[in-house]
Each structure stands twice: as structure tokens, then as C-alpha cells.
């Protein structure tokens, strides 16, 4: 059970980091427009 929770937490962290990266790139694109 806790092993599954660990995997889910890793997936969530990965998604959050990807979203943050995309958000920064989007901000930079908007600045250049």
C-alpha cells in the first residue's frame, strides 16, 4: 500500500515539475510576443 503511494507521489511530483517547466516556457513566449 505505501509502496503504491510512493509511486503515486513520484508521478505527481513529475507532473508538477513538467507543468512548472511548461508554465515558465509559456511565460517566456508571451514576453517575446
Percent of the chain with pLDDT over 70: 97
- In a domain, residue 11? The reply is yes
List C-alpha distances in Å: 14 to 1, 5, 25, 29, 33: 20, 14, 17, 23, 29
- In a domain, residue 1? The reply is no
Give the domain extent around 18: 6-33
pLDDT at residue 1 is higher than 70: no
- In a domain, residue 31? The reply is yes
- In a domain, residue 32? The reply is yes
- In a domain, residue 10? The reply is yes
Tell me what the pLDDT averaged over the chain comes to: 94
Per residue in 17-27, pLDDT (tens digit) is 999 999 999 99
Once rounded to an integer, what is the mean pLDDT over residues 4-25? 97
Q: How far apart are CA 29 and CA 15, in angstroms?
A: 21
C-alpha cell at 6: 510512493
User: What sign has the CA pseudo-torsion 25, 26, 30, 31?
Assistant: negative
Number of domains in the chain: 1
- In a domain, residue 19? The reply is yes
**What pLDDT, on a 0 to 100 scale, did the predictor assign at position 32?**
86
Amino acid at each position: 500500500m505505501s509502496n503504491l503511494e510512493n509511486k503515486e507521489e513520484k508521478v505527481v511530483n513529475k507532473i508538477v515539475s513538467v507543468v512548472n517547466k511548461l508554465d515558465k516556457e509559456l511565460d517566456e513566449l508571451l514576453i517575446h510576443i
